[in-house]
Structures are given as structure tokens and as C-alpha cells.
Chain A
């Protein structure tokens, strides 16, 4: 499988992805799955700007990404698929059962979310969506950078919440 990481990260393409994961994986491409970004040339240029020229970036809606997954799986280069939120990843999983693991890389604070890890804050609806992924056989772990210890969803949700 060429896509080695299915990552939920509200910063989308940023330093941890391009440098942190990118260098350790020898990253060849990034698939950014976001309906709004896929509809905006300006947003796409914004995210493309910081990516090294040898790295491809593909911008897709959820529906188009589900279709493109077979091609990405067949790609010989290591790739990362990114969504900016849990709902988008869940929609993709519902269309593409081939997604078997999900990395929580950055879901930061906003009103209504409780602290689970320094870089993961969740609402009760988001917790339920992650549980749903797990029930569908998807392995969900939190890990912001390659050198960090992965935290299982069960351990993540067992932590005491804090606002």
C-alpha cells in the first residue's frame, strides 16, 4: 500500500507533515481530501507553496478521493492522505472500506472539545465518530510525530478529560 498514513490534522499540510513525517517516510505524495480546498485554486496554491517540488500534492473531494484510492494504493511512492477533521475521514471510510488505519495528528482546542492529549481535543460527537471507525475495523491511534509513542483510541478516551 502506497498510502502509509491516513491522518486527521486540522492544520492539513504543515511542518509536521512535510518535514516530520515526510522526511522519515521518504514521502512522495500527499493526498489532501477536503471539499472546500478541492473547490478553490487559491487554497490549493497556498498549500502547494510549502511542499518540496519533488513531492506531488493531489487535492480531492471525499467522493473523488474514494475513486482515486486504488491509484494511490498502486503508487510505488510512499504517500500520506490528509483530512482536516474527523467527519471527513469518516465519510471517506464509509465510501472506501480499504482504509484500515487512521492517525490522529492534530485536532486542536475549540469550544465544546475536551482535552485528550496535548494535540487532541474532542467533542462527544467526535468521540462517537472515532468509536464508529473502530467498530468498522479501523485501527485508530494518536501520534503527532514519528518519534512519539502511538496512543490507542481506547487509551485516548480513557484519559481524564479537561476543558
Chain B
């Protein structure tokens, strides 16, 4: 059983989990400035599952990087869980990310020289949590993703689907306030991708977390509370009926 106590510990203030105000971001490419995000606003409430659609190069990953404090906007403010991360130093953003953000990447990005269990322990250890209770929590997470028996295996011994399930477990194990997933099914076949999405949906809802997922796969739309697309540097919210 997954410990959901952290959900209860979350502040009950009405502050949204994500709040973007007039955020712009551009890159220089071949000597020319290319605007990726143009004064966008966004508000996501706690516990929502938001799917971000868009073509390759439309700015999905840029938006995720801004939400996670990996990248810095040219202008505007980004607030996550009530903290304006655009006002934090690089080190503060790193520590904020460590505590409050969980990542699921397209290419799994497990550490190849750590076992499955150690990969799950790493986010906790980075926070200085290395007690027996934390170890048990990791084992519970492994059981929750159906891979309890692979705790001692190294990632290169797992299939793509198994690796992504471990990555999902890792993103949740330190009880972050926001889970950011960048094309989590992009490197999986359709059936395995569906299984991973179901797992992400189940676990984030079970623990009351917010999931913000970028994808260009229409398969995942069914699980979303909200669907957003990026078009010409702006965000467009789609009604469920509008979604293809």
C-alpha cells in the first residue's frame, strides 16, 4: 500500500500547484532569435492530470524545463506549489526540484550503475533520508509498479517497459508535489506505453499528486483532466470534445 500521508501534509491553501504569468522564452538559432513561448499564462490546480500536446519542437520540453526550474524564462514568473522559482538562485532551484518535483523522462534515465532499489533510494538520499522507513517505502513503490522481485537488478537487465515503470516509481518515491513527464511513452510500444500511462494515472491519483505530461501521443488523452496544446508560442486549452 502506498503511503499517502504526504497528501494530507500538503497545504490546503487555494494556491494552484502551477502558476505561470506572462512567461516568454526564446532561443538563438543560426544567429536568429526563435520565440518558443510568447507571454503564456497557465494555472493548474492540485491533483490535476494535465496533458500537453504539440508537435516536435513546439516548445513542450521547454515548458517542462521551466516548470521544473531546469531552465529560466526570458520574462514572466513561474510559481510551483506557491514558490516563485524564477526568483530562486540556481542552487535553490536545484534543491526545490529535488524536494518537490518528480521526473519521468522519455529515455527512462535510470542510473545504469545503481540497482533498481538504489535508483529509487537516490532521490531520498539526496534529501538526506536514508532510514529503514525510506527503504521500506521504496520496496512498497516497487511492489506498486509490479517489480518487487527486480529490486537487486541493474537497469540494463530490464525491458523498456520495466525501466519506465521503475522511472515512474522513482518520480513518486520522495512524495513530490508535482510530477513532470516528458514523452513517457515515446520510447515504448503501444501496449507497454498504455500500461505505463495507466500506472502513472493510478499512482498519481492514488497519492493525490499533480501530473503534467508532455506528449505527442493521442493515446494518453483519455486519462487527462485537461488537455493543452502549444501553438505558435501560445497555450490553447482544448475541450475534451475537441480532442482528436
Q: Do A and B assemble together?
A: no
